Structure 1
Amino acid sequence: MAWWRRNKQNDDQAALPAKAAGFGDLDALSAYVTAHGIRIVDPGIPLSAYADTAAAGDVWRTQPSVRKVADYVARAISTIPWHVYERASDTDRRRVTEHPLAQLLGAPGPYRTPSRLWHSVLVDWLIYDRWCVQVLPSADTASGWELRRIPARLMHVLADDFDGVAALYLTDPHGRAQEVQPRGFLFDHGYANVGADGTSPMDTLRQILAEQTEAVEWRRQVWKNGARVPTVIERPADAPAWSPTAKSRFTEAFNAFIGRAGQAGGTPILEDGMRLVTVSAFNPREAQDIEGRRLTDIEVASAYHIPPELVGAREGTFSNVDAFRQMLYTHSLGPTITQLQDVLNVMLVPLIAPGSNLYVEANVEAKLRGSFLEQAQLLQTAVGAPYMTRAEARSVQNLPRLDGTDELITPLNVVEGGLASPRDTAPKADVALPKAGGRPRG
């Protein structure tokens, strides 16, 4: 039994009497909700299951910690290139670049780059815990196909009795809704207590984010309305009473030294007998403003399994930050990359290349490469000789090609000297190593 209905409800399942709703009968109510794309949830399933959309709707714009971490993850994964391979045998894989599948992943649609498409998809995934992309035929792309993102706020995953995927529920920006079959869509969702719609991390982080919002609001009010220095003005007890005019005049004069007035930051002139007394009602250091923001960043980063050092939430050293960077695409982002890769292989490949031996793989090695010097040393040691011709080396430096530079040069000490690579060094065979305090012999 589906967990939503748009038709007439049975009398024992009607959650709202017809008279209380203001409709003549349930048929009129059904027609209204159908026309406006409103979902009627079966009794027994709490409406709180659909609160994720409302909770996550504005968090990207209003929560710096969430945007910082989610954008870091989305940028890191969306810039990984997708490669298509053909499984020729158990020991033979061949890179495919001309197949429509490879062309689609390289150009998902007109005026749409792969990194921007997957960035938006990943943000949907990170904020709502679900995402959806529609695969459409297209005459404007070389592949003949197009990938169109369905915003997570406009889609839900409908579940069967056992929380499996039954259908997709899509709503357009005009409120028109429809139930569609999953074929022709790429989508994924996380775990949910009820249904298959996922559980937004914003629900889990709601209390922490609400606390941060209140703290920011409180600090804004303090800095706007509070004194710029933690002091109060005292008048002598035996001072004559102020007239309304004198009090107003002094207040206006003193206000010129605070806020954004022309004399802000200067020294106010007090009347006879007045003195400034320091109070501890508000102390920026004791308010722990920076510590509170850092704690929120750490909590959000931990919720997304990202080391806080990588997003600047916690100070790190060069060695541990470099170690975290090496772990980023394996332990931290590796499961997310694998899940996205599985969707492409299970849902996209059968649509574009049915019956083929093609598969999609994320080129994570492109992100794990070291510096040019590290790569050069590693490759030269692995092959045991220079691996670039002089012409290729000149092209790296954007120098013109010269005749006679297309041959690969192997130093004689590698061919005849018995060295593993030209970077190795060894003493001559007829030269004995010196003893302590002595000189070489031979």
Structure 2
Amino acid sequence: MRWWPRRKTPASGQVIDQDGVPVLAKAAEQFGDLTQLGAHLAANGIRVVDPGVPLANYADTAAAGRVWETQPSVRKVVDYIARQLCTIPWHVYERVSDTDRRRVTDHPLAQLLSQPAPYRSGARLWHTTLVDWLIYDRWCQQVLPSADTQSGFELRRKPARRFHILADDDDTPQALYLTMSRGPAQVVPLPAPYLFDHGYATVGANGTSPMDTLRQILAEQAEAVEWRRSVWRNGARVPAVIERPADAPAWSKTAKERFQAAFNAFIGRGPSVGGTPILEDGMTLKTVTAFNPQETQDIEGRKLTDAEVASAYHIAPELVGAREGTFSNIDAFRQMLFTISLGPYVTQWQDVLNSMLVPLLAPGSNLYVEANLEAKLRGSFTEQAALLQTAVGAPYMLRSEARAVQNLPHVDGTDELVTPLNVLVGGLASPRDTAPDSTPKGRGRPV
């Protein structure tokens, strides 16, 4: 058990900070919530005997979960990234030599990646895990033996709300702290049959949720939505006020309540809503320019929030509809998606599989896991056909294969590759090229 340096006053036994001020008194004056208090205690090196998991961590976890449920911009961007990443196929290769690689499909490692969990698709399992990563900046999966999968193992997600990473003084992970719905929490020392990863944190190894960084922007958007809802709920359709002449007869309480009830019928949700109210005693309806629905820029505000969230996750706003784009730049962003935008996510994910999963299932082997990004970067059929035909220098499909693509029946005599007469070995590089120039140098072509 580790004790951190601290001082106590001889009389009261209170913990004081480096300035000689009692911590509890200082907390009562300056800290409004557990997060601020916990940050101050950690910064001053003050810890209790059995710290467990600070309550501030639970508060942050719950707050991040509510953001996913209530903020359309966050869910739109996070779900877009998770859907793109969870459908990447994973391949297992054996490193035979520096110039030779062999794909492995019958090893339990490859079988586990193709079927990570029984009775559930791999894409769905990875989708929920990736959402944990993107929302909480940490994720965890447990490797368990299973009789319901071909590999004999399964991956079970540990929700981010149920685990924290315990670290040493250098923020290096030492154990996993797992809370249980029934029974006491478990502390699992590392290494253990778990896959996990976390981002940067100023203190500890639990990562820093992007929701903390986006909190002010998201709060502003939430206030705007609440304000617009209040406007429509209260029935204010026209920014106007009713003016009553100063010399009008004095209103009795009954007359005032009768007029208010009659006017509320036009602005409420009854059968008279949207009609024209009948004014009394020379009243006038005067437009107020302090509020103009057109100037609130509702759509622009939502797009701005979408763009801010997309930028926080390093995604081009055009891909999620947050900004208008053309066909050319959207196509360029699509090509950059799995290289510049999502490439770091794939690399970090791949490193976890190679550093944690491979030693568990294939210790001492030359196997490694690699993401098949080519499956996501393939162009249209026309682009692939032109590229492959140029690469091989001749037609690359049999007529029987082409008929199978179109779901046509097999025809005898179509299992041979047809090579056009204008394609020769050592002649044209591709049937798409023109005839080579055979005119001797220094002479012009005949007219």
Instruction: Provide the aligned length of Structure 1 versus Structure 2.
Output: 405
In 2 relative to 1, CA 3–298 (structure 1 residues): closer, same or farther, beyond 3 Å? farther
Match 2:337 to one of 328, 333, 350: 328
Match 1:169 to one of 172, 177, 186: 177
Instruction: For structure 1, list consecutive stretches of 5 or more residues without a partner in the other structure.
Output: 5-10, 17-38
TM-score norm. by structure 1 comes to 0.85
> What is the SS of the residue equivalent to 1:270?
coil
CA-atom RMSD in angstroms: 2.8
- 2:149 pairs with 1:141: yes
1:181 corresponds in structure 2 to: 189
Measured in 2, the distance between the counterparts of 1:113 and 1:410 equals 43
2:132 corresponds in structure 1 to: 124
2:367 corresponds in structure 1 to: 358
- 2:105 pairs with 1:93: no
Measured in 1, the distance between the counterparts of 2:264 and 2:213 equals 44
1:407 corresponds in structure 2 to: 416
Measured in 2, the distance between the counterparts of 1:217 and 1:415 equals 72
Aligned ranges 1:227-246 → 2 under 5 Å: 227-246=236-255
Match 1:425 to one of 393, 417, 434: 434
Note if contact 1:3-1:158 (Cα within 8 Å) is conserved in structure 2. Answer: no
Aligned ranges 1:300-379 → 2 under 5 Å: 300-379=309-388
Note if contact 2:90-2:113 (Cα within 8 Å) is conserved in structure 1. Answer: yes
Note if contact 2:109-2:361 (Cα within 8 Å) is conserved in structure 1. Answer: yes
In 2 relative to 1, CA 146–47 (structure 1 residues): closer, same or farther, beyond 3 Å? closer
Instruction: For structure 2, list consecutive stretches of 5 or more residues without a partner in the other structure.
Output: 5-12, 17-22, 25-46
**How far did residue 424 of structure 1 move?**
2.2
In 2 relative to 1, CA 427–175 (structure 1 residues): closer, same or farther, beyond 3 Å? same
2:29 corresponds in structure 1 to: none
Note if contact 1:167-1:179 (Cα within 8 Å) is conserved in structure 2. Answer: yes
In 2 relative to 1, CA 397–287 (structure 1 residues): closer, same or farther, beyond 3 Å? same
- 2:287 pairs with 1:278: yes
Note if contact 1:96-1:102 (Cα within 8 Å) is conserved in structure 2. Answer: yes
**How far did residue 255 of structure 1 move?**
2.6
2:389 corresponds in structure 1 to: 380
AA in 1 matched with 2:65: G
2:231 corresponds in structure 1 to: 222
Deviates more, 1:226-235 or 1:119-128: 226-235
**How far did residue 214 of structure 1 move?**
1.7
**How far did residue 251 of structure 1 move?**
2.9
- 2:390 pairs with 1:390: no
Measured in 2, the distance between the counterparts of 1:244 and 1:169 equals 66
In 2 relative to 1, CA 304–40 (structure 1 residues): closer, same or farther, beyond 3 Å? farther
- 2:117 pairs with 1:109: yes
> What is the SS of the residue equivalent to 1:126?
helix
Measured in 2, the distance between the counterparts of 1:88 and 1:374 equals 33
> What is the SS of the residue equivalent to 1:136?
strand
How high is the sequence identity, in percent, across the aligned residues?
76
1:292 corresponds in structure 2 to: 301
TM-score norm. by structure 2 comes to 0.84
**How far did residue 93 of structure 1 move?**
1.3
- 2:100 pairs with 1:80: no
1:316-340 CA-partner distances (Å, limit 9, x unpaired): 2222211111111111110110000
